[in-house]
Chains A and B, each alone.
Chain A
Amino acid sequence: MLAPWFDYTINGLVVGNIYALLAVGLALIFGVANLINFAQGSIFTVGAFVGWTCVTRLHTPLPVTLLVVALFCAALGMAIERVGLRPLQGSSRIAPLLATIGISLVLDQLVQLIFSPDPRDLPSQLPDWRIPLGGGSIGALDLLIAGVGMASAAVLYVFLRFTRLGWAVRATAQDAEAAQQMGVDVHRVNMAVFAIAGALGGVGGVLIGMYYNDIDPAMSFQATLKGVVALLIGGVANIPGAIAGSLLLGLIESYGIALFGTSYRNLFAFLMLIVILLFRPNGLFSRGGSLPPEPLTGTFIARSRPVRVPRWLLSLLVGVAALAPLTHSPYLLQTLSNALLYALLALSLTLVAGTSGVVSLGHAALLAIGGYASALLAIDLGLPVPVCVLLAGCITAALGTALVSPAFRLQGHYVAIATLAIGEIVSLVILNWTGLTRGPMGLTGIPPLGFFGIPLDSVEAVYWLSLALVVIVALLQTRLLSGHLGRAWRAIREDEIAARAYGVNPARYKAMAFAFGGFGAGISGAVTAHLYSYINHETFDATISLLALTIVILGGLGNVLGAILGSVALIGLPELFRAAAEYRMLIYGVVLLLLIRFRPQGLLGTV
């Protein structure tokens, strides 16, 4: 019985090895800039394609290939720091996060336009010998990947411990302003860090591309996701920890497959992540309490004066919006309805993330819960659709709050990653719980919207319904924010310890925010499900969570009107650029970057 377990262990270490290459670069940037760099996965992709060009076009030997890729990606990393992030310094910490999302989009689109979206082979340049190990074997590339991972960690360790620039990096990581006062050139340090992380990411792209003999322009997001999870398991800003965390993630996945089967792999991995975050919130390999809780509050959210919109203008805007069907453009109305349904989600997220400070990266799960709840109530129990939608809102409020509640005691980025994991868990449970959700087949024949016999299936009716829902939720939310609840939420966001000292129980208030937010998001998911007539586990995926966060930051965190405006902008823009066909997401990414550059506090400012 032991032999297979030996094989599973080797398999876990082999794939963990690969995650390590992804996680080290992320750990380095996280340590210094306190930033989850979503562009790291794109540098990984760029590196793979530069490597492909070297190998298949220029026929360079492996060391030269790696050198070219490292230099190219180091330069790219520096450019990202200089052009994309440095101008945002001092604005807030959430703006650079959004900037890395935008940069990632632009880089991925560029790779896709230059190299076409087809997957390509990246032939390994190593001899094809294999060492038998247990029932399987490992090859030269496995050893090289392990070697590069370990060597880069060792070199980084020496660099950070024993060189002047390394000291400067660590000083900057601890306190950038103090370091600057001591004469450290913080810009140079940041640039060096991004260059090293870029080189590592690029080399990782080539080696992993060779390992799988398969590279494609859409692989960035998965790479970032796995890297971030590995990083969190090991403990952020901790390079040996990142490697250990990666190996552990590989092992967890491998044992998960061994125990439960392939379809439970990620479910098991994300559940383990939640458990680890709960018991060792700083990661398994960080000394407990050695790092002060990162200041999510205050500096995380940009201070700004929100744009005041007078009441008459708001009424006018709602009036104009209500008259939109006069344009007789169903396409416009459908796009606006989509934007409004997103606005419901964004209102929910801007409340929990902006006002109460729980930055959620798994908010699409609330849509999924709402959508499935309403659809199942209508299909299996035959309840009238309006009742289903309302019940779905309540179920989402309850279930969503219960699911996220373990994350309430976490801080800063840990909350974001925990919610991301919870979002993935919801999606994977929907996929695997075939008895209730029909699994990958999804739910078909969801009855259309209607109000006790009167069908609401025209595009105008759906539009007015969505508009009415958004107006009602927005008014309610504004009312809540101006009262006692709003003050308590903002107090928790600004300083959780001080709020606690004043007798405010943070977990209880966060739960209230999630309950209210969950209701709105659940309704949005439910309406969407009845509108589509078919949903499956992919209808509400992780990219929607990321888009929702983008909308909320762009609109201004906590800003009710900003969330609505952000939705209309980010859903409308890709439609506006539709004529540009393959180029439209590139244009969208560039516009997004420009918006962040010139309005880092969001279009309407944070509240």
Chain B
Amino acid sequence: MPFRLVVLVLLALWAVPAGAAEPVVVGVSGPLTGPSAQYGAQWKKGFDLALEAINGAQGGIDGRPLAYDFEDSQNDPRQSVAIAQKFVNDPRIIMELGDFSSPASMAASPIYQRAGLVQFGFTNSHPDFTKGGDYMWSNSISQADEMPHLASFAVKELGLKKLAVLHLNTDWGSTSAAIFVQAAKADGAEIVADEGYLPDERDFRSTLTRVRDSGPDGVILISYYADGALIARQARSTGLKQTFVAVSSVYSPKFIELGGDAVNGVYTDSTFAPTDPRPEVQQFVKAYRAKYEADPDTFSAQAYDTMNLVAALARKYGPTRKGMHDGLMQISDVPSVVYGRIKFDPQTRRVAGARSVDLLVQNGVFTVWKPHS
């Protein structure tokens, strides 16, 4: 087990001068190889950044360092269930984070539920994820929060009345699209097209021609950053000049890198922006830029928030499985980049009230959008 042990040992040595304290360990089940590996890599960046502060200035968990055991699932349910058995039978593990997609996470849920180990699916927005049992929790941004906001941004603020929706044909994309469509209609807009595309598609010319011919005055992208950038680039080659409004998951430096000039003029929202004056955001963005020489994205922010939540839970309610589970029901006021302050609804086991900052890409930079400016 060389690599993982080395990580654990290094973390332990570096954080605790005495060297005697056992680390407090959370298990992470997520993709390090395979097609979704990029998201696992973003998670790691967020985790590592949070741990630097937790184990450094904050002195760990009552003197014990916090560490994570990241097991590669390749986002594959077969491997996530094996990892689940590994974690639930490893007495060191006090809580589990992940997996990335619904099929991988929800296949492992029965195992975590039976064993009484919290499965914290911090990217799992599938509405049924937390219904798997009282050990399934999530702080992923709820579409029920974001989509009505995005709809009112597009319809009321930007004045778009005929909308074409392009969404990823996944559980996340189609749930988002459904909520968005409902909210936009309630705001008085007309939906002229609603197209779902597969995650590995790269050619959107014909889709965009179809969108163009439906005569929208605005195009809504329910996409991740890579496919969002592809769509924006190909839009101009099909003669589509309408306003684009995209969901917060495109908020990533990669969106601008991959999209180039074509993403200038795209509106989006985000749970945070580097210009956000809140201290937790400033601290996060500054530390992230210093460590990785890049701007953070939604995925690393979620991971960062989650590791800080783990530390707060372990400190306040004790680094045990029971402590973490019971703590989730009670905890409040944990500073969060995404939410401001985190508090869970014990019924849904989710967090409500994700914040939103409206943004506009201008000259290759996400800038905060102010009405009538």
Q: Check A508 for interface membership: any CB of B closer than 8 A.
A: no
Instruction: Report whether A574 and B79 are in contact in the complex, using a CB–CB cutoff of 8 Å.
Output: yes
Instruction: Report whether B85 and A580 are in contact in the complex, using a CB–CB cutoff of 8 Å.
Output: no
12 pairs from A and B in contact (CB 8 Å cutoff): A118-B41, A119-B258, A138-B237, A212-B230, A212-B233, A214-B226, A222-B202, A333-B85, A440-B173, A533-B110, A534-B103, A574-B79
Q: How far is the CA of A137 from the CA of B88 in the complex (A)?
A: 57
Q: Check A563 for interface membership: any CB of B closer than 8 A.
A: no
Which chain B residues border A382 with CB–CB below 8 Å? none
Instruction: Report whether B206 and A119 are in contact in the complex, using a CB–CB cutoff of 8 Å.
Output: no
Which chain A residues border B197 with CB–CB below 8 Å? 262-263, 265
B49 to chain A, nearest CB (A): 17
User: Which residue on A lies nearest to B86, using beta carbons?
Assistant: A331
Residue-wise interface mask of B (192-213) relative to A, using a CB-CB cutoff of 8 A (1 in contact, 0 not)? 0001111011110111011011
A84 to chain B, nearest CB (A): 21
Q: Check B220 for interface membership: any CB of A closer than 8 A.
A: no
Which chain B residues border A136 with CB–CB below 8 Å? 205, 209, 237-239
CB within 8 Å of A: which B194-252 residues? 195-198, 200-203, 205-207, 209-210, 212-213, 226, 229-230, 233, 236-239
Instruction: Report whether B196 and A262 are in contact in the complex, using a CB–CB cutoff of 8 Å.
Output: yes
Which chain B residues border A15 with CB–CB below 8 Å? 203, 205
Instruction: Report whether B237 and A139 are in contact in the complex, using a CB–CB cutoff of 8 Å.
Output: yes
B267 to chain A, nearest CB (A): 21
User: Which residue on B lies nearest to A118, using beta carbons?
Assistant: B38
Chain B interface residue bracket vs A: 35 or more
Q: Can you add 12 more A-B contacts, CB < 8 Å, to A331-B85, A534-B109, A580-B3?
A: A8-B209, A116-B38, A117-B38, A130-B237, A261-B195, A262-B207, A331-B82, A440-B173, A532-B107, A533-B109, A534-B103, A583-B3
Q: Check A539 for interface membership: any CB of B closer than 8 A.
A: yes
Q: How far is the CA of A334 from the CA of B106 in the complex (A)?
A: 16
Q: How far is the CA of A571 from the CA of B81 in the complex (A)?
A: 13
Q: How far is the CA of A578 from the CA of B1 in the complex (A)?
A: 8
Q: How far is the CA of A217 from the CA of B40 in the complex (A)?
A: 14
Q: Check A584 for interface membership: any CB of B closer than 8 A.
A: yes
Which chain B residues border A214 with CB–CB below 8 Å? 202, 226, 229-230, 258
Report the 6 A-B pairs with minimum CB-CB distance, sorted nearest first.
A532-B107, A117-B37, A534-B106, A579-B1, A11-B205, A218-B35
Q: Check A4 for interface membership: any CB of B closer than 8 A.
A: yes
Which chain B residues border A123 with CB–CB below 8 Å? 260
Instruction: Report whether B132 and A218 are in contact in the complex, using a CB–CB cutoff of 8 Å.
Output: no
Instruction: Report whether A265 and B226 are in contact in the complex, using a CB–CB cutoff of 8 Å.
Output: no
Q: How far is the CA of A123 from the CA of B259 in the complex (A)?
A: 10
A518 to chain B, nearest CB (A): 21
CB within 8 Å of A: which B44-80 residues? 70-72, 74, 77-79
Q: Check B102 for interface membership: any CB of A closer than 8 A.
A: yes
Instruction: Report whether B226 and A444 are in contact in the complex, using a CB–CB cutoff of 8 Å.
Output: no
A335 to chain B, nearest CB (A): 5
Q: How far is the CA of A331 from the CA of B114 in the complex (A)?
A: 15
Instruction: Report whether A119 and B226 are in contact in the complex, using a CB–CB cutoff of 8 Å.
Output: yes
Q: How far is the CA of A329 from the CA of B272 in the complex (A)?
A: 44
Which chain A residues border B101 with CB–CB below 8 Å? 538
Which chain B residues border A213 with CB–CB below 8 Å? 229, 233, 258-260
Q: Which residues of B contact A (CB under 8 A)?
A: 1-5, 32-35, 37-38, 40-41, 70-72, 74, 77-79, 81-82, 84-86, 88-89, 101-103, 106-107, 109-110, 114, 126, 128, 131-132, 166, 169-171, 173-175, 195-198, 200-203, 205-207, 209-210, 212-213, 226, 229-230, 233, 236-239, 254, 257-260
Q: How far is the CA of A439 from the CA of B172 in the complex (A)?
A: 12
User: Which residue on B lies nearest to A582, using beta carbons?
Assistant: B32
Which chain A residues border B2 with CB–CB below 8 Å? 579-580
Q: Which of A12, A329, A333, A581 contacts B70 (CB 8 A)?
A: A581
Which chain A residues border B260 with CB–CB below 8 Å? 121, 123, 213
User: Which residue on B lies nearest to A261, using beta carbons?
Assistant: B195
Instruction: Report whether A584 and B82 are in contact in the complex, using a CB–CB cutoff of 8 Å.
Output: no
Q: Check A190 for interface membership: any CB of B closer than 8 A.
A: no
B81 to chain A, nearest CB (A): 6
Which chain A residues border B74 with CB–CB below 8 Å? 585
Instruction: Report whether A4 and B126 are in contact in the complex, using a CB–CB cutoff of 8 Å.
Output: no
Which chain B residues border A579 with CB–CB below 8 Å? 1-5
Q: Which of A539, A571, A575, A585 contacts B33 (CB 8 A)?
A: A585
User: Which residue on A lies nearest to B203, using beta carbons?
Assistant: A15
Instruction: Report whether A533 and B106 are in contact in the complex, using a CB–CB cutoff of 8 Å.
Output: yes
Q: Which of A11, A330, A578 contacts B209 (CB 8 A)?
A: A11
Which chain B residues border A331 with CB–CB below 8 Å? 82, 85-86, 89
Highest count of chain A CB atoms <10 Å: which of B71, B74, B196 = B196
Instruction: Report whether A135 and B103 are in contact in the complex, using a CB–CB cutoff of 8 Å.
Output: no
Q: Which of A117, A218, A334, A533 contacts B82 (CB 8 A)?
A: A334
Residue-wise interface mask of A (133-150) relative to B, using a CB-CB cutoff of 8 A (1 in contact, 0 not)? 001111100000000000
Q: How far is the CA of A116 from the CA of B40 in the complex (A)?
A: 11
User: Which residue on A lies nearest to B115, using beta carbons?
Assistant: A330
Q: How far is the CA of A440 from the CA of B226 in the complex (A)?
A: 20
Which chain A residues border B198 with CB–CB below 8 Å? 263, 265-266
Which chain B residues border A216 with CB–CB below 8 Å? 38, 226
Instruction: Report whether B209 and A4 are in contact in the complex, using a CB–CB cutoff of 8 Å.
Output: yes
Which chain B residues border A176 with CB–CB below 8 Å? none
Q: Check A348 for interface membership: any CB of B closer than 8 A.
A: no
Q: Check A531 for interface membership: any CB of B closer than 8 A.
A: yes
Q: Check A468 for interface membership: any CB of B closer than 8 A.
A: no
Which chain B residues border A11 with CB–CB below 8 Å? 203, 205-206, 209, 238
Instruction: Report whether A135 and B210 are in contact in the complex, using a CB–CB cutoff of 8 Å.
Output: no
Q: Check A419 for interface membership: any CB of B closer than 8 A.
A: no
Instruction: Report whether A12 and B109 are in contact in the complex, using a CB–CB cutoff of 8 Å.
Output: no
Residue-wise interface mask of A (311-355) relative to B, using a CB-CB cutoff of 8 A (1 in contact, 0 not)? 000000000000000000111011100100000000000000000
Q: How far is the CA of A56 from the CA of B233 in the complex (A)?
A: 20
Q: How far is the CA of A532 from the CA of B101 in the complex (A)?
A: 14
| Interface-lining segment among A44-52, A71-79, A251-259, A276-284 | A251-259
Instruction: Report whether B170 and A7 are in contact in the complex, using a CB–CB cutoff of 8 Å.
Output: no
Residue-wise interface mask of A (173-215) relative to B, using a CB-CB cutoff of 8 A (1 in contact, 0 not)? 0000000000000000000000000000000000000001110
Q: How far is the CA of A580 from the CA of B230 in the complex (A)?
A: 34
Highest count of chain A CB atoms <10 Å: which of B85, B88, B200 = B85
B271 to chain A, nearest CB (A): 21
Q: A11-B238, A444-B128 are in contact. Are A117 and B258 (CB under 8 A)?
A: no
Q: Check A450 for interface membership: any CB of B closer than 8 A.
A: no
Residue-wise interface mask of A (413-446) relative to B, using a CB-CB cutoff of 8 A (1 in contact, 0 not)? 0000000000000000001000000011110110
Highest count of chain A CB atoms <10 Å: which of B3, B82, B88 = B82
Q: Check A100 for interface membership: any CB of B closer than 8 A.
A: no
Highest count of chain B CB atoms <10 Å: which of A214, A217, A254 = A214
Instruction: Report whether B196 and A263 are in contact in the complex, using a CB–CB cutoff of 8 Å.
Output: yes
Q: How far is the CA of A582 from the CA of B207 in the complex (A)?
A: 36
Q: A261-B195, A263-B196, A440-B171 are in contact. Are A7 and B238 (CB under 8 A)?
A: yes
Which chain B residues border A243 with CB–CB below 8 Å? none
Which chain B residues border A261 with CB–CB below 8 Å? 195-196, 210
A269 to chain B, nearest CB (A): 12
Q: How far is the CA of A338 from the CA of B106 in the complex (A)?
A: 16
